Amino acid sequence: MTAQNPPATAPQDRLGVGNIVSELRALRVASQRSRYGDGALPALPSRKEMITIVDGLVAALFPRHFGPPELTPNSVDGYLTFILEKTLRALEEQVSRELKLNSHGSGTTALNDAARAAEIAVAFAQSLPKVRALLDADIRAALEGDPAARSHDEIVFCYPGVAAVIRHRLAHQLYLLGAPMLARVIAEMAHSETGIDIHPGATIDESFFIDHGTGVVIGETARIGKHVRLYQAVTLGAKRFEVDEDGALVKGKDRHPILEDNVVVYAGATILGRITIGKGSSIGGNVWLTHSVPPGSNITQAKARSDSFDNGGGI
């Protein structure tokens, strides 16, 4: 006599997944309705697609380092034509999504958003030679400023500060052209990869070098001149946030530091507020600075004082 298989039964939802899904749906619908109303939801830009786009742009800027390993001098231009056409078309689609998201419910037509996205994509494409020229100056600054740097190729391949600046210079162009969300996506990708947080709105001139770099933070309205060098854990931040009469944050105000040409800021320094660090100044490690300093300044921490006390004296 053989044992019979037990009758098949419907699986029980012992984890309560069905109820969780229902509650999440209700919360999601309420959130979406508060932002978009009751109409169709606008398509969102894709972070995953932006990763592919940025990889393509970086490869186009430095094809020998980040392009296919089989590239030869005779095949580089053909590869650039292919990768740029593919990448820029994909970028145009993502820009169009951001514009449609921003204009949702405003009465702007999809045709206008698409035309503007095409304009932004063309302007961005035209900026790439300028971006490459700036990056060449940044790489030279790293080679000249770091005694451990052995070659241009090592810097391009290995230096997190250069990786972050490559992506910042791409993100900054999108920020200026009117795609700030995509710019911020690129900035946060770089932040995740390098530990360096540069807001895409920050204006950074040529020959910029971040040495080591972990923990560097540069705010949206910071302005950095030529031949500036930062070390790890430097913050160029805001001292305070203005609020309006209703207590809401006032956005768009200049609130981050200005570093003039040839400034060096050493590890752990914190510079806050809309202050100016004059040309050729040196800001020492772990300095906390909230006031402007004139050109040629050398700012260090207060010197440590050593006192000795006998038998509890001085307590």
DSSP-derived secondary structure for 294-305: -TT-EE-PPPP-
Say if 14 falls within a structural domain. no
Taking the mean position of all CA atoms in its chain, how far away is CA 33? 30
Q: Is 237 helix (H, G, I), strand (E, B) or coil?
A: strand
Higher pLDDT: 232 or 251? It is 232
* Per-residue confidence (pLDDT) for residue 214, from 0 to 100: 97
**Looking at the structure, do residues 219 and 167 belong to the same domain, yes or no?**
no
Q: Is the whole-model pTM more than 0.75? A: yes
Q: How far apart are the first and last CA of the chain?
A: 93
* Per-residue confidence (pLDDT) for residue 235, from 0 to 100: 98
Say if 314 falls within a structural domain. no
* Per-residue confidence (pLDDT) for residue 83, from 0 to 100: 98
Say if 34 falls within a structural domain. no
- Residues contacting 165, CB < 8 A, separation 6+: 135, 138, 198, 204, 208, 210
Say if 23 falls within a structural domain. no
**Dist. CA 219–CA 199, nearest whole Å:** 5
Report pLDDT digits (tens) over 82-92: 999 999 999 99
| pLDDT confidence bin for 38, thresholds 50/70/90 | confident
**Dist. CA 286–CA 96, nearest whole Å:** 44
**Looking at the structure, do residues 244 and 190 belong to the same domain, yes or no?**
no
**Looking at the structure, do residues 189 and 223 belong to the same domain, yes or no?**
no
* Per-residue confidence (pLDDT) for residue 315, from 0 to 100: 45
Length of the chain: 315
**Looking at the structure, do residues 190 and 233 belong to the same domain, yes or no?**
no
Say if 95 falls within a structural domain. yes
Whichever domain contains 100, its CATH number is: 1.10.3130.10
203 - beta bridge partners? Answer: 223
**Looking at the structure, do residues 94 and 177 belong to the same domain, yes or no?**
yes
Quick check: 238 pLDDT over 50? Answer: yes
* Per-residue confidence (pLDDT) for residue 4, from 0 to 100: 60
Question: Mean of the per-residue pLDDT values for the chain?
Answer: 92
Quick check: 8 pLDDT over 70? Answer: no
Domain end call among 161, 195, 229: 195
Number of domain units in the chain: 2
**Looking at the structure, do residues 177 and 219 belong to the same domain, yes or no?**
no
**Looking at the structure, do residues 187 and 222 belong to the same domain, yes or no?**
no
Quick check: 187 pLDDT over 70? Answer: yes
- Looking at 2-11, 155-164, 284-293, which range is the least confident one? 2-11
Say if 177 falls within a structural domain. yes
- Looking at 20-24, 27-31, 100-104, which range is the least confident one? 100-104
Say if 209 falls within a structural domain. no
**Dist. CA 107–CA 2, nearest whole Å:** 73
Q: What is the 3-state secondary structure (H, E, C) of 24-74?
A: HHHHHHHHHHHHHCCCCCCCCCCHHHHHHHHHHHHHHHCHHHHCCCCCCCC
Quick check: 72 pLDDT over 80? Answer: yes
**Integer angstrom CA distances of residue 299 from 36, 232, 264:** 51, 17, 11
Say if 26 falls within a structural domain. no
**Dist. CA 39–CA 254, nearest whole Å:** 37
Report pLDDT digits (tens) over 131-183: 999 999 999 999 999 999 999 999 999 999 999 999 999 999 999 999 999 99
**Integer angstrom CA distances of residue 77 from 15, 53, 62, 92:** 57, 19, 12, 22
**Looking at the structure, do residues 296 and 151 belong to the same domain, yes or no?**
no
User: Averaged over 241-252, what is the pLDDT?
Assistant: 82
User: Averaged over 100-109, what is the pLDDT?
Assistant: 76
In which domain, by residue range, is 235 found? 215-302
**Dist. CA 96–CA 291, nearest whole Å:** 42
**Looking at the structure, do residues 155 and 287 belong to the same domain, yes or no?**
no
**Looking at the structure, do residues 51 and 90 belong to the same domain, yes or no?**
yes
Contact 239, 254 (CB under 8 A): no
- Residues contacting 113, CB < 8 A, separation 6+: 96, 99, 100, 103
